[in-house]
């Protein structure tokens, strides 16, 4: 008998025909994820505040993409933003909550306004956007919600009290989403990236010594490259992860393992 193991079906990871809404698509990890999904068969609606940057992203991807310029930190507008997404390309099958802000204020210096905008963008927007799209996902009996956690979901970093609070919160929101909605075929998971050189982490990578220390802290011995996100994103967005929900996947080269 031939006992040669068979390769996993390509269909398990196929994103063709899926519609994805990606927040933070104008730059950094959100932009890379939005482009990756579009290049792999999904229709992508990118949502971000900076219209010019968002237009640049859309022009860089030849596939079926749409752009919605909106301020996700304005919680009064979240329902309208969700409606724009649905009117543009239908209720998304996939929601990627990649938009985020880190004000990098020490505890003594955190202002009420900085606290508010961090909470609203990093924690409030992901939940209420997901809530807006869940009814459509329930009708299809299929949905994928991927939130962005962080190293600060697990660790305290200098100047990170507001950001860290929201990223710890996103882990619990992800578990609670899974508990509420996974019985309907909707999985909710989070990715916790390590150090990737993006606009959000520019200050970290501007300090060469610090960047090298961060790389040395990983098990792999380097900081993240954008392509390191591709496999985890494709897995969590596809049928391959149908029995995975409520989890936070650290894509950090083993930073949190040490």
CB atoms within 10 A of CB 161: 20
Catalytic residue among 66, 163, 184, 243: 163
Q: What is the DSSP string of 9-60?
A: PGGGG--TT-EEEEETTTSHHHHHHHHHHHHTT-EEEEEES-HHHHHHHHHH
Residue 225 neighbours by CB under 8 Å, 6+ apart: 196
Residues forming beta bridges with residue 43, ordered by sequence position: 19
Distance, CA of 25 to CA of 45 (rounded, Å): 9
184 is catalytic: no
For the record, the structure tokens of 26 come out as 């104008």
Q: Are 145 and 188 in contact (CB under 8 A)?
A: yes
CA 44 to the chain's CA centroid: 14
Q: Answer yes or no: are the C-beta atoms of 30 and 3 closer than 8 Å.
A: no
By annotation, the residues acting in catalysis are 163
């Amino acid at each position: 008998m031939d006992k040669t193991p068979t390769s996993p079906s390509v269909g398990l990871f196929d994103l063709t025909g899926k519609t994805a809404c990606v927040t933070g698509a104008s730059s950094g990890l959100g932009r890379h994820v939005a482009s990756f999904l579009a290049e792999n068969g999904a229709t992508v609606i990118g949502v971000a505040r900076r219209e010019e940057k968002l237009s640049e992203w859309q022009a860089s991807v030849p596939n079926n993409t749409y752009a919605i310029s909106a301020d996700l930190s304005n919680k009064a507008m979240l329902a309208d933003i969700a409606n724009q997404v649905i009117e543009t390309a239908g209720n998304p099958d996939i929601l990627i909550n990649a938009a985020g802000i880190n004000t990098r204020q020490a505890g003594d210096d955190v202002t009420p306004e900085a606290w508010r905008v961090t909470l609203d963008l990093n924690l409030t927007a992901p939940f209420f956007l997901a809530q807006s799209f869940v009814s459509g996902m329930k009708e299809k009996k299929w949905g994928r919600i991927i939130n962005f956690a962080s190293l600060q979901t697990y660790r305290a970093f200098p100047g990170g009290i507001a950001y860290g609070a929201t990223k710890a919160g996103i882990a619990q929101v992800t578990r609670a989403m899974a508990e509420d909605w996974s019985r309907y075929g909707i999985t909710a998971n989070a990715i916790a990236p390590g150090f990737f050189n993006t606009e959000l982490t520019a200050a970290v990578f501007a300090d060469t010594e610090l960047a090298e220390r961060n790389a040395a802290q990983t098990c792999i011995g380097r900081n993240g490259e954008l392509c390191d996100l591709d496999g985890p994103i494709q897995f969590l967005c596809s049928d391959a992860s149908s029995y995975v929900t409520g989890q936070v996947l650290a894509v950090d080269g083993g930073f949190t393992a040490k």
